[in-house]
Structure 1
Amino acid sequence: MLQDRARAWAPVVLQAVPRLRRVDAAPSSDRSGGQPALAAAAAVVGALTGLTAATFRLLLEHAGEARIDLVRWAHGSPVLGFALVVLVCAAGTSAASWLVHRVEPHAEGSGIPRVEAVVEGRKAPGRFRILPVKYVGGLLSIGSGLALGREGPSVQMGGTIAAVVGRALRRSGPDVRLLVAAGAAAGLATAFNAPIAGGVFVLEELLKRFDPRTTLATLVASAAGFASAHVLLHSSTSDFHVPQLAEPSLAQAPLVLAVGVACGLLGVAYNWSVIRSLRIADTSRWPVVVRAALIGAAVGAVGWFGPGLVGGGDDLTQQALVGHGTVLTVTGLLVLRFVLGVVSYAACTPGGLFAPMLVLGSNLGLLVELLGQTVAPHQTPEPAALALIGMAAFFTATVRAPVTGLVLATEMTGSTTLLPPMLGACAVAMLTAAMLRSTPIYDQLTQRAVNATRVNAAEGHPD
Structure 2
Amino acid sequence: MGILKVYILAILTGFVTGLITIPYRWMIEKSAYIRDMIFNLNNPLYYLILGFIGIYVIGILISKMVEDSPLITGSGIPQARAQIYGRIKVKNPIKNLVFKFLGGVSGISAGYSLGREGPSVQMGALIGETISQVFKVDRVERKYLIMSGAGAGLSSAFTAPLASAIFIAEELQKYFNSRLTIFSFLGSIVSGYMAAKFFVKNDYLDIVVNYPQNLNYFEYFYICIAFAIFISLVGKSFSFLLIYFQKLNRKIKISKYIKVFFYTLMVIVIGIFYKDLTAGGESFLIREGMVNDLSIGALIFFIILKLLFTTLSYSTGFPGGIFLPLLVIGGLSGKLFGLILLYFNLIDINNLGVFIFLGMASAFVVVVRSPATGIILILEMTWDFTLLPSMVIVAGLAYTVSNLLKVEPIYDLLYKPLIENDDNDEVVELVFEVGSESYLIGEEIGKLELPGDLKIKSIERKGEFIKTNDTTEIEKNDIIGIPTKKRDIEKFYDSLRSLAQEN
Do both share a fold (TM > 0.5)? Answer: yes
1:88 Cα offset (Å): 2.6
| 1-structure distance, mates of 2:166, 2:266 | 36
Is the CA contact (8 Å cut-off) linking 2:209 and 2:354 kept in structure 1?
no
| 1-structure distance, mates of 2:201, 2:414 | 32
CA deviation string 1:38-64 (max 9, x = no partner):
211110110000110001011112222
CA deviation string 1:178-221 (max 9, x = no partner):
21111111000000111111111111111122211111100001
Aligned position for 2:176 = 210
Aligned position for 2:474 = none
1:308 Cα offset (Å): 1.2
Aligned position for 1:6 = none
Q: Is structure 2 residue 102 aligned with structure 1 residue 136? A: yes
| 1-structure distance, mates of 2:92, 2:287 | 40
Aligned position for 1:349 = 318
1:240 and 1:444, CA in 2 relative to 1: closer, same or farther beyond 3 A? farther
Point out where structure 1 has 5 or more consecutive residues left out of the alignment.
Answer: 1-31, 458-463
CA deviation string 1:148-179 (max 9, x = no partner):
00001111100000000011111122221221
| 1-structure distance, mates of 2:332, 2:135 | 46
1:167 and 1:240, CA in 2 relative to 1: closer, same or farther beyond 3 A? farther
Aligned position for 2:82 = 117
1:456 Cα offset (Å): 13
Q: Equivalent of 1:268, from 219, 233, 236?
A: 236
1:381 Cα offset (Å): 7.1
| 1-structure distance, mates of 2:260, 2:222 | 43
Scaled by the length of structure 2, the TM-score of the pair is 0.79
Is the CA contact (8 Å cut-off) linking 2:209 and 2:353 kept in structure 1?
no
Q: Is structure 2 residue 188 aligned with structure 1 residue 222? A: yes
Is the CA contact (8 Å cut-off) linking 2:156 and 2:194 kept in structure 1?
no
Question: Which amino acid in the other structure matches residue 154 of structure 2?
Answer: L
Aligned position for 1:87 = 53
Aligned position for 1:278 = 246
Aligned position for 1:253 = 221
1:378 and 1:394, CA in 2 relative to 1: closer, same or farther beyond 3 A? closer
Aligned position for 2:361 = 392
Is the CA contact (8 Å cut-off) linking 1:119 and 1:181 kept in structure 2?
yes
Is the CA contact (8 Å cut-off) linking 1:158 and 1:183 kept in structure 2?
yes
Is the CA contact (8 Å cut-off) linking 1:85 and 1:304 kept in structure 2?
no
Is the CA contact (8 Å cut-off) linking 1:320 and 1:387 kept in structure 2?
no
Q: Equivalent of 2:200, from 224, 235, 238?
A: 235
1:378 and 1:228, CA in 2 relative to 1: closer, same or farther beyond 3 A? closer
CA deviation string 1:93-124 (max 9, x = no partner):
222222111x2111000001111122233333
Aligned position for 1:48 = 16
Aligned position for 1:402 = 371
Question: Which amino acid in the other structure matches residue 72 of structure 2?
Answer: A
CA deviation string 1:78-97 (max 9, x = no partner):
5x554443333222222222
Is the CA contact (8 Å cut-off) linking 2:212 and 2:348 kept in structure 1?
no
| 2-structure distance, mates of 1:237, 1:448 | 37
- Which has the higher mean CA deviation after the structures are superposed, 383-392 or 117-126? 117-126
| 2-structure distance, mates of 1:278, 1:332 | 23
- Which has the higher mean CA deviation after the structures are superposed, 142-151 or 281-290? 281-290
1:417 and 1:65, CA in 2 relative to 1: closer, same or farther beyond 3 A? same
Is the CA contact (8 Å cut-off) linking 2:39 and 2:268 kept in structure 1?
no
Is the CA contact (8 Å cut-off) linking 1:90 and 1:294 kept in structure 2?
no
Question: Which amino acid in the other structure matches residue 98 of structure 2?
Answer: P
1:413 and 1:241, CA in 2 relative to 1: closer, same or farther beyond 3 A? farther
Is the CA contact (8 Å cut-off) linking 2:231 and 2:333 kept in structure 1?
yes
| 2-structure distance, mates of 1:76, 1:316 | 22
1:257 Cα offset (Å): 2.1
Question: Which amino acid in the other structure matches residue 304 of structure 1?
Answer: I
| 1-structure distance, mates of 2:317, 2:347 | 46
Which protein is richer in strand relative to its size?
Answer: 2
1:236 and 1:40, CA in 2 relative to 1: closer, same or farther beyond 3 A? farther
Question: Which amino acid in the other structure matches residue 214 of structure 1?
Answer: L
Q: Equivalent of 2:31, from 55, 63, 86?
A: 63
1:380 Cα offset (Å): 8.4
Q: Equivalent of 1:445, from 414, 417, 424?
A: 414
Is the CA contact (8 Å cut-off) linking 1:134 and 1:350 kept in structure 2?
yes
Aligned position for 1:105 = 70
| 2-structure distance, mates of 1:440, 1:285 | 29
Is the CA contact (8 Å cut-off) linking 1:186 and 1:198 kept in structure 2?
yes
Aligned position for 1:22 = none
1:362 Cα offset (Å): 0.3
Q: What secondary structure sits across from 2:262 in the alignment? A: helix
1:410 and 1:339, CA in 2 relative to 1: closer, same or farther beyond 3 A? same
1:76 and 1:316, CA in 2 relative to 1: closer, same or farther beyond 3 A? closer
The structure whose RCO (Cα within 8 Å, separation 6+) is larger is 1
Is the CA contact (8 Å cut-off) linking 1:97 and 1:289 kept in structure 2?
no
Is the CA contact (8 Å cut-off) linking 1:86 and 1:300 kept in structure 2?
yes
| 2-structure distance, mates of 1:221, 1:300 | 38
Question: Which amino acid in the other structure matches residue 76 of structure 1?
Answer: N
- Which has the higher mean CA deviation after the structures are superposed, 422-431 or 348-357? 422-431
| 2-structure distance, mates of 1:205, 1:138 | 22
RMSD between aligned alpha carbons? 2.2
1:453 Cα offset (Å): 6.5
Point out where structure 2 has 5 or more consecutive residues left out of the alignment.
Answer: 427-503
Question: Which amino acid in the other structure matches residue 444 of structure 1?
Answer: L
| 1-structure distance, mates of 2:92, 2:259 | 26
1:71 and 1:238, CA in 2 relative to 1: closer, same or farther beyond 3 A? closer
Scaled by the length of structure 1, the TM-score of the pair is 0.86
Instruction: Give the paired residue count.
Output: 421
1:253 Cα offset (Å): 2.2
Is the CA contact (8 Å cut-off) linking 2:37 and 2:43 kept in structure 1?
no
Question: Which amino acid in the other structure matches residue 311 of structure 1?
Answer: A
Is the CA contact (8 Å cut-off) linking 1:60 and 1:143 kept in structure 2?
yes
Q: What secondary structure sits across from 1:265 in the alignment? A: helix
Identity across aligned pairs (percent)? Answer: 26
CA deviation string 1:363-409 (max 9, x = no partner):
00100000011124248870000111000000000000000000111
| 1-structure distance, mates of 2:89, 2:259 | 29
Aligned position for 2:6 = 38
